Amino acid sequence: MNDLLRLTGEHVLIVAIAVSVAIIAGVPLGTFAHRRKRAGGIALRITDVVQTIPSLAMFGFLIPLPFIGGIGARPAIVALVLYSLLPIVRSTLVGLERVDPYVREAAVAMGMTDRQLLWSVELPLATPAIVAGIRIAAVTAIGVATIAAAVGGGGLGTLIFRGVAMVDTRLILSGALPAALLAIGADLVLTRVERAFARRRGEA
Amino acid sequence: MTDNVAVIEYRDVTVNAGSNAILDRVSLRIETGERVAYLGRSGAGKTTALKVINGLVTPSSGELLIDGTPIAARPLPELRRRIGYVMQQPALFPHRSVLDNVATVPQLLGWPEERTRAEAVRLLDQLELPAATFGSRFPRSLSGGQQQRVAIARALIAAPEILLCDEPFSALDPLIRAELQTLFRDATRERAATTLVFVTHDVREALRIAERVIVFDEGRVVADTSADAFLTHEHPLVRRFVDA
């Protein structure tokens, strides 16, 4: 039981760090992609390609790399950041693109600077979409993080891998069930946050 | 400001889109406090002529002066805070309440909050959208006509030197349109120092709101007349507008 709590804590921590880093990098990247279509398109394609790499292969690629790679929690977090980036960048871009061009025109015509337009109009209006991206990123990361145990990343995957090695179904489930519950819980909570943001402007 | 400086002056303004001239060497002077309608068919260039004033469209050649200074010579955001702008679409900020929408420009100008609020409430009441009832509501819960009142209040609150309107009433049904035209006329006439430029394709609306009518066709000014003389003006396009 102690083991379970510790590993769940590790799992949550790895995911939380990875998704936070992905938000800090992804929202500005999505904003940049919106302003500079061409460079943005390239950035988006790169995150797209990263997304298609199978997770076990990704951990494999990271093992020989210095600084960001190797064995342990660090490569696990790096891989999760890479996976979380795409949904967040894309949803930021989509959210910004969906802002009514007339609303943007009105804001500019009233004398907002580029920065004021971004912070007081575009980003608030894109927030529900950005939260949707964060939700997808978090749920994906919780799943992928179970595999991180393969490179010594810790977390609930440790129990699953141990269970597989020992052909012990109970041990496998003791890792798999909490991981699934975490994913469902994160999905529920973030869906609510998403709705709360939408409701604030009378949409839902 | 001396007497011979117009509040708005077009000097040979041309706007090209590809090989087409949307605006073709337009020269015009509009004096402080004038109420001007830009009349024309769709594609005549009247909207482009309007957007050149607040820099939403940049001339391909020629220049536009406000108070005698080319607008290219100064930062646009500052200039735009002194120019009200109302479009056919209310384009309210969906994430801001009615009062917060109206408060946009005062916030950009750094007005104290009490002054902003007092002025917003006064304007909304004048436009018959009482702030007590509607102030904290969000745009989506308002009808088209109500949203457009908010847009007008948002454009007027900081007593702009110039008010630009691009067919603000043409998406509304006829009864509401007539009601808003009257409210709009009264609210803007009260501000005698505000220069009004009002784009429309509706002759009756132009004559109701403006005292000077400028007719655009194929990117050029084809008639420039007082509203009183408009009905007897001899230009064939004016005749067609009048007879329609």
ipTM more than 0.90? yes
Q: Nearest CA of chain A to the CA of B46: how many Å?
A: 17
- Per the listing, tokens 């994160």 go with A186
Confidence tier at A41 by pLDDT (50, 70, 90): confident
What is the C-alpha separation between A198 and A193, in angstroms, rounded? 9
Contact (CB<8Å) B104/A110: yes
Instruction: Give the burial string for A159-188 (b: 16+ CB within 10 Å, else e).
Output: bbbbbeeeeeeebbebbbebbeebbeebee
- The beta-carbon neighbor of A103 closest among B81, B91, B141 is B91
Query: Residue A201: its pLDDT value, please?
Result: 66
Q: What is the DSSP string of chain B?
A: --TT--SEEEEEEEEEETTEEEEEEEEEEE-TT-EEEEE--TTSSHHHHHHHHTTSS--SEEEEEETTEEGGGS-HHHHHTTEEEE-SS----TTS-HHHHHTHHHHHHT--HHHHHHHHHHHHHHTT--HHHHTTS-GGGS-HHHHHHHHHHHHHTT--SEEEEESTTTTS-HHHHHHHHHHHHHHHHT-TT-EEEEEES-HHHHHHH-SEEEEEETTEEEEEEEHHHHTT---HHHHHHHH-
**Average pLDDT value for residue range A182-202:** 88
- The beta-carbon neighbor of B85 closest among A110, A113, A202 is A110
Cβ-in-10-Å burial (0-12, 13-18, 19+) of B190 comes to: exposed
Interface of A with B in 33-62 (CB under 8 A): none
**Average pLDDT value for residue range B101-105:** 97
A47 Ramachandran zone, left/alpha/beta (phi>0; psi -120 to 50): alpha
Within its chain, how far is the Cα of B135 from the centroid? 24
Does A203 have pLDDT greater than 60?
A: no
Does B36 have pLDDT greater than 80?
A: yes
Query: Residue A43: its pLDDT value, please?
Result: 82
Confidence tier at B1 by pLDDT (50, 70, 90): very low
Confidence tier at B31 by pLDDT (50, 70, 90): very high
Q: Nearest CA of chain B to the CA of A114: how many Å?
A: 9
Query: Residue B143: its pLDDT value, please?
Result: 94
**Average pLDDT value for residue range B151-175:** 94
**Average pLDDT value for residue range B94-123:** 96
Give the Å distances, CA to CA, from A67 to A13, A70, B30, B230.
Answer: 20, 8, 67, 78
Query: Residue A204: its pLDDT value, please?
Result: 42
Contact (CB<8Å) B56/A105: yes
Instruction: Share the mean pLDDT of chain B.
Output: 93
Does B30 have pLDDT greater than 90?
A: yes
Chain B positions in Cβ-Cβ contact with residue A107 (cut-off 8 Å): 93, 104
pLDDT tens-digit readout, B120-158: 999 999 999 999 999 999 999 999 999 999 999 999 999
What is the C-alpha separation between A151 and A163, in angstroms, rounded? 16
Interface of A with B in 83-112 (CB under 8 A): 100, 102-103, 105-112
B52, B93, B156, B162: which to substitute to probe chain A, counting the most A Cβ within 10 Å?
B93
Closest CA to B9 of B189, B143, B210, B162: B162
Q: Encode chain A in three state secondary structure.
A: CHHHHHHHHHHHHHHHHHHHHHHHHHHHHHHHHHHCHHHHHHHHHHHHHHHHCCHHHHHHHHCCCCCCCCCCHHHHHHHHHHHHHHHHHHHHHHHHHCCCHHHHHHHHHCCCCHHHHHHHHHHHHHHHHHHHHHHHHHHHHHHHHHHHHHHCCCCCHHHHHHHHHCCCHHHHHHHHHHHHHHHHHHHHHHHHHHHHHHHCCCCC
Query: Residue B112: its pLDDT value, please?
Result: 97
Does B74 have pLDDT greater than 50?
A: yes
Percent of chain A with pLDDT over 70: 97
Instruction: Supply φ then ψ for residue A28, to 5 degrees.
Output: -60, -40
Q: Which of A16-30, A182-196, B2-16 has the lowest mean pLDDT?
A: B2-16
Q: Which two tokens stand for residue A134?
A: 């964060």
Give the Å distances, CA to CA, from A102 to B50, B89, B151.
Answer: 16, 7, 12
CA closest to B103 among chain A residues: A110
- Per the listing, tokens 């494999």 go with A60
Does B218 have pLDDT greater than 70?
A: yes
Q: Which two tokens stand for residue B43?
A: 């594609």
Within its chain, how far is the Cα of B171 from the centroid? 16
Q: Nearest CA of chain A to the CA of B80: how many Å?
A: 5
Contact (CB<8Å) B105/A110: yes
The CATH number of the domain where A164 resides is what? 1.10.3720.10
pLDDT tens-digit readout, A137-188: 999 999 999 998 888 888 999 999 999 999 999 999 999 999 999 999 999 9
| Containing structural domain, residue A178 | 2-203
**Average pLDDT value for residue range A63-67:** 85
- Per the listing, tokens 């009482």 go with B130
Query: Residue A202: its pLDDT value, please?
Result: 58
Are the CB atoms for A147 and A83 separated by under 8 Å?
no
What is the C-alpha separation between B105 and B108, in angstroms, rounded? 5
Does B2 have pLDDT greater than 70?
A: no
Contact (CB<8Å) B87/A121: no
Query: Residue B3: its pLDDT value, please?
Result: 55
Confidence tier at A47 by pLDDT (50, 70, 90): confident
The structural domain count of chain A equals 1
Contact (CB<8Å) B140/A202: yes
Query: Residue B185: its pLDDT value, please?
Result: 92
Q: Nearest CA of chain B to the CA of A109: how many Å?
A: 6
What is the C-alpha separation between A162 and A170, in angstroms, rounded? 11
Query: Residue A1: its pLDDT value, please?
Result: 66
Q: Nearest CA of chain B to the CA of A37: how many Å?
A: 21
